[in-house]
């Protein structure tokens, strides 16, 4: 699998508490936009990122963003 699966053509807007998160890069996770281990055997690995304070973020679900894990609007070009 060389290209990620487009999980959705819109961001997941979520409020996150401080902590470390694993963003799904393959698009196969049932727990979008977070990794659930579905990437095993695909060559993809999750991207970990840290949130320092509670905030609302828009996480990419199309997996084509140039600013992972955050949405940059790339889904509008798919």
Residue with the bigger pLDDT between 77 and 1: it is 77
Quick: pLDDT tens for 7-59. Answer: 999 999 999 999 999 999 999 999 999 999 999 999 999 999 999 999 999 99
pTM over 0.85, yes/no? yes
Is residue 5 in a domain? no
Contacts with 36 (C-beta within 8 Å, 6 or more apart), sequence order = 24, 29, 30
Q: Is residue 46 part of a domain?
A: yes
| Contacts of residue 74, Cβ cutoff 8 Å, sequence gap at least 6 | 60, 62, 64, 65, 66
The yes-or-no verdict on residue 1 having pLDDT over 70 is no
Let me know if residue 7 belongs to a domain: no
* Parent domain of 47: 12-77
In a domain, 28, yes or no: yes
What pLDDT sits at residue 24? 98
Is residue 3 assigned to a domain? no
The pLDDT value recorded for residue 38 is 95
Q: How many domains does the chain have?
A: 1
């Amino acid at each position: 699998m060389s290209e990620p699966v487009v999980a959705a053509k819109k961001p997941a807007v979520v409020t996150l508490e401080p902590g470390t998160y694993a963003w799904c890069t393959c698009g196969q996770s049932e727990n979008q936009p977070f990794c659930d281990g579905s990437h095993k055997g695909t060559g993809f690995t999750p991207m970990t990122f840290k949130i320092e304070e509670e905030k609302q973020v828009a996480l990419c679900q199309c997996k084509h963003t140039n600013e992972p894990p955050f949405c940059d609007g790339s889904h509008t070009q798919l």
